[in-house]
A and B are shown apart, each in its own frame.
Chain A
Amino acid sequence: MKRTLLLAIVISLCAGSALFAGRRRAVALPPQDELTIEFVAVAASTYGDVIDLGVITHPGRHDRRRTIVRQLFGVRLTRLPQVSGGTAVLRASLKTDDPRCTVTVDGIRLGAAMAMIDPRVPLGVVTTHRLEIEVPDSVPEGPLMSGIRWEATTN
């Protein structure tokens, strides 16, 4: 009786697994690790000379007048457990492209599409990036831009 019961359980388990198997699952190979993105404002006391409060003018060329804002800021990408020499991809875009101003990060012009800032950002350290916003004086008052989108993925 016990043997029959055991056989029945085994058959039903096998049948059940066959019925519910559907597609075979691919096998994931650990390890489980994590990627962190962190934005770090860079102290003005250290980099105060880079924050430019001035207005660049071109005497006699009113149509060339413009205002440029520059700021340094930091992004730290971290991977745990730590990967020696590990890197990650850092891309950026504007949330909405604002044709009234030009925004660059490390000299790379940003738009609505993601732009590669650095394909191999070292992990675990703050990397400093230079944001520059250029606005012609002809642009009327109003909010400049809605924000910069940063994207980090593992290499």
Chain B
Amino acid sequence: MKRLLIIFLFTVAASAQAKVHDGALTLSPAVITLRGASGQSTTQVVRLTNGTSQDFAFDVTAEDVIVRDGKRVMSKAGQIAGSIATTAAFSQRSGVVHAGDTMAMTVTLTLPPSTDCRAVVVLFRGTRKLMNGPLPVLANIGTLLTFAISDDVSLDAGAVAVTPPSSSANASISNVCINNGREPVVARGVVAILDSRGTLVGRAPIEPRRLLPSERAVIRAEYPSDLAPGRYAVLLTLGYEGKTVVQRGDLVVP
């Protein structure tokens, strides 16, 4: 066994002398945002491009994306009530994308009459190993589809936590958000820093964050510029689906 491993490891060492970049697998689109009503179906075209030097053989499946304890979990089709994934119909269940080729396929999904599920991942599951140097790897790549079927959107933004800047770190602003509505939302926003007179002295963007119903996330922003010693007000403004949430915090720069 040792001999086998040593041979394996010499192969690793020899082949790892140079960086290996053997292409990539690309799936388009990466995310599809849908709006509709229960009972409606949608057919989407998904394209897989094999940029590696090896053929990519795959099976395609759909899995529901649900939220447990505030975190996303994927669930095999049919394992939850109101599974959307179980309605998936594909133009083909498996195939081979030759090196350098692109393959398009369609997936049709139907929203069950009564479901709390709002997201599905369409997964291309590699069935043939790709060699990453000496390591055989299999690749899965998935497109996320989200569904909104009502206007029940709501975001609960918690208290703002502010960490003052230090010699080695920027000022950071964060808060915990929970999507307590029934539909997915993409929250985006900005942090504004006001001095004691209420004058805007700086702002920092908040990167967009998709939240499924019941999903919890820490929204963060950093303010990279210098701040003079003093007391500041921090206004964190989040926008989603035409609504706005504003939270206020205090920042003291020593």
Contact = CB atoms under 8 A, between A and B. Distances in A.
Interface string B29-44: 1111111110111111
Interface in B87-119: 110-111
A76 to B, nearest CB: 8
Contacts of A23: 39-41, 110
Contact of B143 (A37, A154, A155): A154
A27 B36 contact: yes
B111 A151 contact: no
Interface size class of B (residues with CB under 8 A): 35 or more
A137 B13 contact: no
Contacts of B125: 149
A67 B2 CA distance: 7
Interface string A137-155: 1011110101111111111
Interface string A37-51: 111111111001001
B77 interface: no
Contacts of A86: 207-208
A45 B35 contact: no
Contact of A24 (B28, B40, B141): B40
A35 B30 contact: yes
A36 interface: yes
Contacts of A78: 24
B123 A151 contact: yes
A25 B23 contact: no
Contacts of A71: 12, 16, 135
B30 A151 contact: no
Nearest to B20: A41
B202 interface: no
Nearest to A139: B1
Contacts of A154: 30-31, 142-144
Contacts, number: 188
Given A34-B27, A140-B1, A148 B140 contact: no
A85 B204 CA distance: 13
Interface string B135-149: 111111111100100
A109 interface: no
B19 A43 contact: yes
Given A39-B137, A40-B20, A119-B71, A34 B36 contact: no
Contacts of A48: 13
Nearest to B41: A23
Contacts of B142: 35, 151-154
A33 B72 contact: no
A29 B140 CA distance: 25
A148 B137 contact: yes
A153 B25 CA distance: 12
Nearest to A120: B217
Interface of B: 1-6, 8-9, 12-13, 15-37, 39-44, 49, 51, 71-72, 74, 110-111, 121, 123, 125-126, 129-130, 132-133, 135-144, 147, 205, 207-208, 210
9 A-B pairs closest in CB distance: A85-B207, A26-B36, A151-B140, A38-B24, A35-B30, A34-B28, A41-B133, A153-B142, A147-B136
15 contacts: A24-B40, A25-B36, A26-B41, A26-B111, A27-B35, A29-B35, A35-B30, A44-B16, A73-B135, A135-B1, A135-B5, A141-B3, A153-B141, A154-B30, A154-B31
Given A28-B44, A40-B19, A84-B207, 15 more contacts: A23-B40, A24-B36, A25-B40, A32-B29, A34-B49, A35-B28, A36-B25, A39-B22, A40-B21, A41-B132, A95-B129, A114-B74, A149-B139, A149-B140, A150-B138
